[in-house]
């Protein structure tokens, strides 16, 4: 199996282990060495418990992987003083990973935060918009 195939195989194991399940720090650390990503996942898990990630496109080359996906979740956690809306979201995002020795060592992510706020019935004035 070449490096690209190994990268994709690892990613699918990681994605399936976390998507739609409780994302504990212990579980995340089985796959991730990037502290920013660990905190990012825990932050979203606190707001959208057991969120599901649905991949729409996966592109891998050597140790890098790109995913265009949708997050499906229910807003159950408070953020920046905004109480949970209990609304369901279906929001697109994209994420890139660098994987080494079956561990995510780096990532980047982009999302349409305005679309997410609209789905929650919020405005940018009500919540501090953070980088993804």
Residue 132 in domain:
no
Digit-by-digit pLDDT tens for the chain (132 residues) are: 899 999 999 999 999 999 999 999 999 999 999 999 999 999 999 999 999 999 999 999 999 999 999 999 999 999 877 889 999 999 999 999 999 999 999 999 999 988 988 999 886 665 555 554
Residue 54 in domain:
yes
Residue 129 in domain:
no
**Half-sphere exposure of 79 toward its Cβ, with a 13 Å CA cutoff?**
21
Start-to-end CA distance of the chain, whole Å, equals 33
**CATH code of the domain covering residue 24:** 3.10.450.50
Q: Tell me which DSSP letter residue 38 carries.
A: H
Query: Using CA atoms, how far apart are residues 23 and 96, in angstroms rounded to an integer?
Result: 19
| Whole-structure pTM value | 0.89
User: What 3-state DSSP class applies to 80?
Assistant: coil
Query: Using CA atoms, how far apart are residues 16 and 21, in angstroms rounded to an integer?
Result: 9
Residue 20 in domain:
yes
Residue 76 in domain:
yes
Q: Are 90 and 119 in contact (CB under 8 A)?
A: yes
Residue 131 in domain:
no
- Count of domains observed in the chain: 1
Radius of gyration of the chain (CA): 15
């Amino acid at each position: 199996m070449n490096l690209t195939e190994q990268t994709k195989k690892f990613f699918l194991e990681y994605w399936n282990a976390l998507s739609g399940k409780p994302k504990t720090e212990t579980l995340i650390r089985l796959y991730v060495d990037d502290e920013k990503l660990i905190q990012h996942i825990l932050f979203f898990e606190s707001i959208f418990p057991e969120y599901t990630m649905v991949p729409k496109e996966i592109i891998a080359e050597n140790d890098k992987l790109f995913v265009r996906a949708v997050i499906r979740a229910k807003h159950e956690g408070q953020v920046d003083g905004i109480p949970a809306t209990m609304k369901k979201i279906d929001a697109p995002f994209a994420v890139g990973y660098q994987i080494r020795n079956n561990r995510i060592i780096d990532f980047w992510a982009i999302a349409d935060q305005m679309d997410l706020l609209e789905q929650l019935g919020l405005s940018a004035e009500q919540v501090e918009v953070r980088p993804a």
